[in-house]
Amino acid sequence: MNSIFLRAYPPAQPASGPSYWLPFRNGEVIVQRQEQGVTLIRADETLRTQLGTSEFYYLGTLDGIPCVTCELDSKQELLPTWYTSSLRGLFDLLENSAYTVAAYAAQIIYWQRTNRYCPSCGHAIEATRGTWGHHCPRCGHTGYPPVSPAILVLIHDGGERVLLAHKPGWPAKRYSCIAGFVEPGESLEECVQREVYEEVGVEITAITYVGSQPWPFPHQLMVGYTARYVGGPVRIDAQELDDAAWFQINNLPDLPPKQSLAHFLITNWVATQQLSKDD
């Protein structure tokens, strides 16, 4: 059975007893080592004193157990069984629900750290009750944790070929979908068409929504599509990509991590085409 995460909002406080703690230090989350891998830290209220921080944030409950996050001093010593990791480093190590909580915690910590003053007048902001929002008592400006929508699109030819791209700095054999941020005044579908044309120069149709995924680097929401190739030679934008090529679905390159939406878009398309062949 999948774990259930229920969110809570300030000024809600965790119930007494054990909690999952998600401390961050220097931008990385601290987790607990176990023989079988890693897990979230589980401890009672005394941990707050050990961590030496008075500022913590109650996120909600994971299967009824409170989840709490905080940011530690960069020199804070860790217990022997703890270690720090980037969120990307935990992709295949934490169970999905635990990773969801860690990603949420990272975004709340980032929001609290980077939004202490009003962007309009510079006055210290105050918390908005019942939300993670902030408001300015001087000018009335309000703000909430940002979510930046971005698209992923798997381009296919209607059959057994997909068009994948490679970015500078990626492992040599890793290819993925076309991606890009939504611009002001632009729909998601318009963004798909624009990004595809800008990055690989081809025309597409049949833009079809597949799914979405929060991507806390630092606050994106990835929205995934498939689209059918219509025509045009592949012409890459050399400022964004260093290669793009058609691949047969039975001879794919290395793909993004399994927990990523890009991996799902590609493997789901492959599975769909294989099923249609078997029918």
What does pLDDT average to over the chain?
A: 94
Q: What is the mean pLDDT of residues 78-86?
A: 90
Multiple choice CATH, 148-278, 1.20.1630.10, 3.30.565.10, 3.40.50.12780, 3.90.79.10: 3.90.79.10
Q: What is the mean pLDDT of residues 83-105?
A: 91
Multiple choice CATH, 5-114, 3.40.50.620, 3.90.79.10, 3.90.1150.10, 3.40.50.150: 3.90.79.10
Residue-wise pLDDT tens digits, 30-51: 999 888 889 999 998 888 878 8
Q: Is the pLDDT of residue 201 over 80?
A: yes
Provide the pLDDT for residue 79: 87
Where does the chain hold its CATH 3.90.79.10 domain(s)? 5-114, 148-278
Provide the pLDDT for residue 1: 60
Query: Which pTM value belongs to this model?
Result: 0.90
Q: What is the mean pLDDT of residues 186-202?
A: 98
Provide the pLDDT for residue 279: 62
Provide the pLDDT for residue 92: 82
Record the tokens describing residue 216, joined without a space: 């806390």
Evaluate whether 3 touches 62 at the Cβ level (below 8 Å).
Answer: yes
Place of tokens 């944790």: 145
Q: What is the mean pLDDT of residues 16-22?
A: 94
Provide the pLDDT for residue 234: 97
Residue-wise pLDDT tens digits, 120-171: 999 999 999 999 999 999 999 999 999 999 999 999 999 899 999 999 999 9
47 CB contacts (<8 Å, ≥6 apart)? 21, 41
Q: Is the pLDDT of residue 253 over 90?
A: yes
Between residues 55 and 143, which one has the greater pLDDT? 143
